Structure 1
Amino acid sequence: MKKEVAETIRSIFSAIDLNAAQEQIAKAIEKYSSQASKMVGRDLTEGINVFSLASHLWI
C-alpha cells in the first residue's frame, strides 16, 4: 500500500492546477478513507497550497 499511496501523492502534485489537484485529493480521500484519511484529507490539502503561487515557482 505504501507504494500505491506514494504514487497517488505524486499524481496530486503533478496536477496541472489547483482545481485538478483538489479533484485528485477528493478521489484519494474516497479511495483511502479508512487507511490514510488523515494524511490525504488534511496534510495534502494543506500541501497543495503551492498551486496558489505562480506556476513558474512550482519547480
Structure 2
Amino acid sequence: MNIYNFLTVDERLELAKQGRCINKLIHDPDRRVRDEALEHDLNILIDDHPLFEDNISE
C-alpha cells in the first residue's frame, strides 16, 4: 500500500518543501510536487558532491 495515495496535493507539496521523501515525490503525478522535490534533490546532489567542497576550500 502506498501511503502517498492518501495524502492531498498540499500535504505532498509540504513534504517536498521540507525536503522529505524526495525519492518518492520526484515521481508524484502533480507537477508542482515534482518540481519542488526535484529542486531539493538537486540541492542535495550539489551539497554532497566532494568536488563542490574542494572548490570551496580553494
TM-score using structure 2 length: 0.37
TM-score using structure 1 length: 0.36
If asked which structure has higher relative contact order (CA below 8 Å, sep 6+), I would say 1
